[in-house]
């Protein structure tokens, strides 16, 4: 849960920053939240997710080793420091970014989440007189995240398998092919309900604090812009 929240927070920070910079520097709009088309929202979301993945992939690798690798060799040091040492000794510094390629492909997940969220929010704001409540944000966020998770879950599963200790797989397609041979296409969605529950909960927290993060980011950009 903590790992998921860190990833969501990192994405939200970069999304707010990238979107604000795009509005101010490219569109040169003084409006805080102008309506953007779906394609633009998806592109901004993908760029933000790629930046976030560069910073959070090491956290994900360590978390995956703790969750999956702890049952293989009980005599090993299973602390965070122990896993950091083990990853570095086995794979070097690049080991902390193992699974980065499928993670970059998975940038479509938050891109879909925020793209769908912004479009539905625009429709609701137009219909309700520009009023948005935390409850509405929660429901829209839950719907958006659920849709994004269903679309991308097979690749989420392959990323987890790639980041596991002593994994025999070389790439995501090899993982998906092996799962398909053993369990068929339903195997690609094994564990999806738990993933949706975890993702929606962490996403709901971020959408709740969304406005505060946006105000904070704009204040920082305003201060740095004056220098």
Question: Could you report the per-residue pLDDT of 44-92, keeping only the tens digit for each?
Answer: 888 888 888 888 888 878 887 777 654 445 546 677 888 888 888 887 8
Mean predicted confidence (pLDDT) in 173-178: 90
What is the spatial distance between Cα 198 and Cα 227, in angstroms, rounded to a whole number? Answer: 41
Nearest to 205 by CA among 22, 41, 39, 12: 12
Q: What is the pLDDT of residues 106-132, one digit of tens each?
A: 788 877 887 888 888 888 888 877 677
Mean pLDDT over all residues of the chain? 79
Please, are residues 63 and 5 in contact by the beta-carbon 8 Å criterion?
A: no
Q: Report the pLDDT value the prediction gives residue 24, as an integer from 0 to 100.
A: 81
Select, from the ranges 28-32, 43-47, 133-137, the one with the highest average predicted confidence (pLDDT).
43-47
SS (H, E, C) the chain: CHHHHHHHHHHHHHHHHHHHHHHHHHCCCCCCCCCCCHHHHHHHHHHHHHHHHHHHHHHHHHHHHHHHHHHCCCCCCCCHHHHHHHHHHHHCHHHHHCCHHHHHHCCHHHHHHHHHHHHHHHHHHHHHCCCCCHHHHHHHHHHHHHHHHHHHHHHHHHHHHHHCCCCCCCCHHHHHHHHHHHHCHHHHHCCHHHHHHHHHHHHHHHHHCHHHHHHHHHHHHHHHHHC
C-beta of residue 14 within 8 angstroms of C-beta of residue 48: yes
Give me the domains of the chain, ranges plus CATH numbers. Answer: 2-226 (1.50.40.10)
Which burial class, exposed, middle or buried, applies to 168 when counting CB atoms under 10 A from its CB (0-12, 13-18, 19+)? exposed
């Amino acid at each position: 849960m903590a790992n998921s929240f860190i990833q969501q927070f990192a994405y939200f920070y970069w999304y707010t920053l990238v979107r604000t910079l795009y509005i101010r520097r490219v569109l040169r709009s003084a409006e805080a939240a102008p309506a953007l088309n779906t394609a633009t929202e998806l592109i901004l979301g993908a760029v933000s997710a790629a930046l976030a993945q560069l910073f959070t992939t090491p956290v994900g690798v360590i978390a995956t080793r703790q969750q999956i690798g702890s049952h293989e060799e009980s005599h090993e040091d299973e602390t965070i420091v122990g896993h950091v040492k083990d990853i570095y000794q086995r794979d070097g510094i690049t080991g902390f970014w193992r699974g980065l390629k499928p993670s970059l492909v998975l940038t479509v997940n938050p891109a879909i989440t925020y793209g769908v969220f912004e479009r539905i929010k625009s429709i609701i704001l137009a219909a309700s007189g520009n009023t948005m409540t935390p409850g509405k944000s929660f429901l829209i966020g839950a719907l958006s995240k659920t849709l994004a998770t269903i679309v991308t879950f097979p690749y989420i599963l392959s990323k987890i398998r790639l980041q596991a200790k002593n994994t025999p797989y070389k790439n995501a397609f090899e993982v998906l092919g092996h799962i398909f041979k053993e369990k068929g296409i339903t195997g690609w969605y094994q564990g999806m309900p738990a993933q949706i529950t975890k993702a929606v909960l962490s996403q709901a927290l971020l959408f709740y604090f969304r406005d505060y993060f946006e105000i904070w980011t704009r204040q920082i950009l305003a201060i740095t812009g004056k220098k």
